[in-house]
């Protein structure tokens, strides 16, 4: 066969090959060590120069063409064989969609319920200062009530400066740092808010009654964890202030809320309690699985708190409450341990 014949038959056979195995046979036949084409290329050294110059380039080009052709055909056949393996009758793999976390679901539900009762939803900072988190809520420094909230204090610039001063022996620089320190220390110390109540103060400072708000948010406590305590958790604060807001209004709002959240048959009770920022103070329990479970603290806003925001306590009154979101979720879904909510364990999360 001459080169032209080789080319024609090779092209034809390669195109017509039906599987990878026969294609490999063709590769050996046309490009293998004993193939005619390779033999021709080998024998070139023995042919006269003028012929060599004619045949050589043509043979080389053909070799390249065949290489290319086989490679392409191989890819095609591979694809064919791959698609033959797909069994279209098999059930499709289930696509798992993302969804909201149970705490988020509950928070949204709570917000929706209060929105229907004309409450506004506002949010406050997670990093608070001592004034809003404690003092303005009638919890002065060294007051034993501060022990109710095991606080995570933040290391502020002031602490860092202090270290700097100790290390710094040059008087002039130390003096100037000390001056700045004095200024900073007069500011209230920073902490991670231990409850959402500070937002009561921030809101009242910038708004005039009547109003009703809820404040959902994350809070932090420096505590050992157990089945119902976490180092961070969520609360929803409530505050309603006006000229004639009473505990009866509170009872109606909370009853409406609990029935919408848990269902119309939920049993609940008010129990006297103490919080520095309310007077009288109370706690709300719900009846669940044969026992009373505490779900929120509440009460009528204390006069001292109105003083702190320059409201006239003789002209306004209001109620406040702080409900534990994790507690509500624990009850609603009957969870054994609230720490599951923060575990990131998909076997748990996927059940909602």
Please name the residue that has the structure tokens 């998909």: 346
CA 144-203-187 angle, 5° bins? 55
Please name the residue that has the structure tokens 């797909």: 86
Q: Does 298 bind ligand DAH (CB under 6 A)?
A: yes
Task: Return the number of the residue (261 or 319) whose C-beta is nearest ligand DAH.
Answer: 319
| Shortest distance in whole angstroms from residue 291 CB to ligand DAH | 20
Q: Evaluate whether 316 touches 243 at the Cβ level (below 8 Å).
A: yes
Please name the residue that has the structure tokens 């056949």: 77
3-state helix, strand, coil in the chain (%, to 5): 50, 20, 30
Q: Does 297 bind ligand DAH (CB under 6 A)?
A: yes
Q: Which stretch binds ligand DAH (CB under 6 A): 51-59, 202-210, 225-233, 292-300?
A: 292-300
Between 207 and 246, how does the x/- string for binding to ligand DAH read (CB under 6 A)? ------------------------------x---------
Pairing mode, if any, of strands 278-288 and 268-273? Answer: antiparallel
Does 279 count as an annotated binding residue? Answer: yes
Q: Which stretch binds ligand DAH (CB under 6 A): 24-32, 97-105, 201-209, 316-324?
A: 316-324
Q: Does 284 bind ligand DAH (CB under 6 A)?
A: no
φ and ψ of 266, to 5 deg:
-65, 135
Q: Does 322 bind ligand DAH (CB under 6 A)?
A: yes
Q: Which stretch binds ligand DAH (CB under 6 A): 86-94, 109-117, 226-234, 317-325?
A: 317-325
Candidates 30, 261, 268, 321: give the one binding ligand DAH (CB under 6 A): 321
Q: Does 299 bind ligand DAH (CB under 6 A)?
A: yes
| Shortest distance in whole angstroms from residue 93 CB to ligand DAH | 46
Q: Does 189 bind ligand DAH (CB under 6 A)?
A: no
> From its phi and psi, is residue 87 left (phi > 0), alpha (psi between -120 and 50) or beta?
beta
**Orientation angle between helical segments 325-332 and 102-116, nearest 10 degrees:** 110
Could you give the C-alpha distances from 294 to 87, 122, 246, 286, in angstroms and in order?
57, 24, 22, 7
User: Which residues bind to ligand DAH, rule: CB under 6 A?
Assistant: 195, 197, 237, 275, 278, 297-299, 320-322
């Amino acid at each position: 066969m001459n080169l032209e014949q080789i080319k024609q038959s090779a092209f034809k056979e390669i195109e017509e090959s039906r599987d990878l195995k026969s294609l490999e046979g063709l590769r050996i036949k046309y490009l293998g060590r004993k193939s005619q084409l390779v033999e021709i290329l080998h024998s070139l050294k023995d042919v006269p120069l003028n012929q060599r110059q004619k045949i050589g380039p043509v043979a080389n080009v053909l070799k390249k063409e065949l290489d290319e052709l086989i490679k392409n055909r191989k890819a095609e056949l591979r694809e064919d064989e791959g698609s033959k393996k797909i069994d279209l009758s098999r059930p499709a793999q289930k696509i798992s969609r993302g969804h909201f976390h149970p705490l988020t679901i509950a928070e949204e539900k709570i917000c929706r319920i209060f929105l229907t009762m004309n409450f506004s939803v506002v949010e406050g900072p997670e990093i608070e200062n001592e004034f809003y988190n404690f003092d303005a809520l009638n919890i002065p420094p060294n007051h034993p009530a501060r022990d109710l909230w095991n606080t995570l204090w933040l290391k502020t610039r002031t602490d860092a400066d202090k270290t700097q001063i100790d290390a710094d022996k040059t008087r002039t620089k130390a003096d100037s740092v000390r001056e700045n320190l004095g200024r900073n220390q007069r500011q209230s110390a920073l902490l991670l808010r231990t409850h959402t109540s500070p937002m009561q103060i921030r809101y009242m400072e910038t708004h005039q009654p009547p109003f009703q708000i809820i404040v959902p948010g994350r809070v932090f406590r420096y505590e050992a964890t157990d089945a119902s305590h976490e180092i961070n958790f969520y609360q929803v604060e409530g505050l309603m202030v006006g000229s004639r807001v009473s505990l009866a209004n509170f009872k109606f709002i909370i009853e409406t809320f609990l029935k919408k959240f848990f269902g119309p048959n939920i049993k609940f009770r008010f129990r006297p309690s103490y919080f520095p920022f309310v007077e009288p103070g109370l706690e709300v329990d719900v009846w669940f699985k044969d026992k009373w479970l505490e779900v929120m603290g509440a009460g009528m806003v204390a006069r001292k708190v109105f003083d702190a925001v320059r409201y006239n306590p003789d002209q306004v009154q209001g109620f406040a409450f702080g409900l534990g979101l994790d507690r509500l979720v624990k009850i609603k879904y009957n969870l054994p341990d609230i720490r599951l909510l923060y575990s990131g364990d998909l076997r748990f999360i996927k059940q909602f």
